[in-house]
Amino acid sequence: MNILDGKATSIALQEEIAAEVTKVIAAGGKRPHLTAVLIGMDPASRAYVGHKVKACAKAGFESSTIERGKEISQTELLEIVRTLNNDKSVDGFIVQLPLPDHIDATAVIEAIDPRKDVDGFHPLNVGNMSLGLPTFLPATPSGIMTLLKRHGIVTEGMHAVIIGRSDIVGNPMSVLLSRNSEPGNCTVTQCHSRTVDLKSHTLKADILIAAIGKPHFITSDMVKEGAIVIDVGINRISDSTRKSGSRLTGDVDFDNVAQKCSWITPVPGGVGPMTIASLLENTLQASLQNTDGIS
Ligand code: GUN
């Protein structure tokens, strides 16, 4: 078994991005600026946004966070989006999901200027991705593709089984892996909560992508010998041996599955850091395309 080292790959990628920013600045260009909109006090969302902001600083980006309580109205949030769309100093922004139940997340995403949609969630960008046209790719699937590529894994002809149908991971992952590209050229099966006999599908997977949100859901009896296993889950479980009383774990029963597979991503240190590096890639791209702010 080999580890798909998301942490090391992400650090390498972020160093390359930082070097690119240094070059852009030296040539009189603009420092990329990412804004994160954070609604409510969800600890996981706060932690993710914190990691994104920290990564921006390391890469030489400017960053800002707009925080509001969970009682914010739809109108107020749409006004924040409109302000960011019109702010020439901001190259890209994200609205951290999930949003409170009373907010129509689709309406919020549709209000984002597609040129600043560095999450790649706007319908126009999703459409471009589906057609294989240049666009911002959603950060988590894009990070997984980079992780495969940078570990020299050739996926052509493989059977990829994706568990999950979210717009953030499952759906775009299925598009990217079935593309005529490398990585890509996979035969993709997409499973979800209504799939009958899930195990019969997972056992056929050369690449298994678990984006379920249930700790240790994928057990070794569900995995084919020699499979590549990508764990997208970030679940907090209680652990009395830790000072905090809890720890993060994935959707995969790592200790047992690792003995069976050829490659596996750890949690933490697998997909999570790659998501952040991909967001920075998108923001740098947005900044290079934004000619408004050049000083
Ligand atoms: N919530 C979980 N993942 C993501 C992501 O990639 N972007 C945003 N905006 N929210 C998320």
Phi, psi of 135 (to 5 degrees): -170, 180
Ligand 1 in contact with 99 (CB < 6 A)? no
- Joined together, the tokens standing for residue 204 give 């056929």
Phi, psi of 26 (to 5 degrees): -60, -30
Burial class (CB in 10 A: 0-12, 13-18, 19+), 101: exposed
* Catalytic one of 30, 91, 96, 116: 96
Helices (H), 162-246: 170-178, 198-202
The CATH number given to whatever domain includes residue 73 is: 3.40.50.10860
Give residue 160's domain range.
139-272
- At 82 the pLDDT is 98
Ligand 1 in contact with 168 (CB < 6 A)? yes
The CATH number given to whatever domain includes residue 150 is: 3.40.50.720
Residue type, 87: D
* Together in a domain, 99 and 161: no
Structurally, the chain folds into a number of domains equal to: 2
Residues of the chain with pLDDT under 70: 292-295
Contact at 8 Å (CB) between 73 and 57? no
Q: pLDDT digits over 60-100, tens only?
A: 999 999 999 999 999 999 999 999 999 999 999 999 999 99
- At 291 the pLDDT is 73
Taking the model in full, what pTM does it have?
0.97
Q: Which residue's CA lies nearest to atom 1 of ligand 1? A: 97
CA distance 245 to 239: 5
Q: pLDDT digits over 253-287, tens only?
A: 999 999 999 999 999 999 999 999 999 999 999 99
- At 292 the pLDDT is 65
CA distance 176 to 198: 22
* Residue 127 domain-assigned (yes or no): no
Which candidate, 217, 220, 230, 229, places its Cα nearest to that of 255? 220
